[in-house]
Amino acid sequence: MTALPRDYDLDPGRFLASTELPHDDVHPYVAARLGDAGARIVLDVGGGSGRLARLLPEVSMRCLLIDLSPTMLALAPRPAVRADGSRLPVTDRWDAPLVTLSTVDHAAAFLRIHGLSDAAAHRAAVTLQLPLALTMRGCFVYATRAPRSPWPLTS
């Protein structure tokens, strides 16, 4: 299996194609999970154009978005920083529903995100049995403050 190129700056339309059509989006579920965990400050690693970061103020959370792509960061809400999130040492696996592709146009937009040209995406989308539920594996990166110890660390 070959990885898709990091072409968000050369072809931002590939990544942004999914925003053109209404669809089931994982970001509200992620925001709810963070809220249920009691998060108040979120580091959105690989946050792209800020889909998750835009939802968090509505549920009383602050967010710092980091991404490698200057093009995506230009579209993201602030604060946003250009950085490599793969170097962070803490993760929690994510293995849950991502999206349900309900129409040929929605499926084509999703395939476009994953590297197909417009024409190839539409050719492939018409062959799918829709609706089609997809899952995604990834991770959450989060941390909490340790409670203050009543004992001094030094004597």
Query: How far, rounded to the nearest angstrom, does the alpha carbon of residue 64 sit from its chain's CA centroid?
Result: 13
| Whether the model pTM is above 0.75 | no
Residue 87 clears pLDDT 80, i.e. is over it = no
Pair 14, 113: CB distance under 8 Å: yes
| Cα(99)–Cα(64) distance, integer angstroms | 24
pLDDT for 112: 86
Tell me the pLDDT tens digit for each residue of 5-53: 566 777 777 667 666 665 567 788 889 888 888 888 888 888 889 999 9
pLDDT for 43: 87
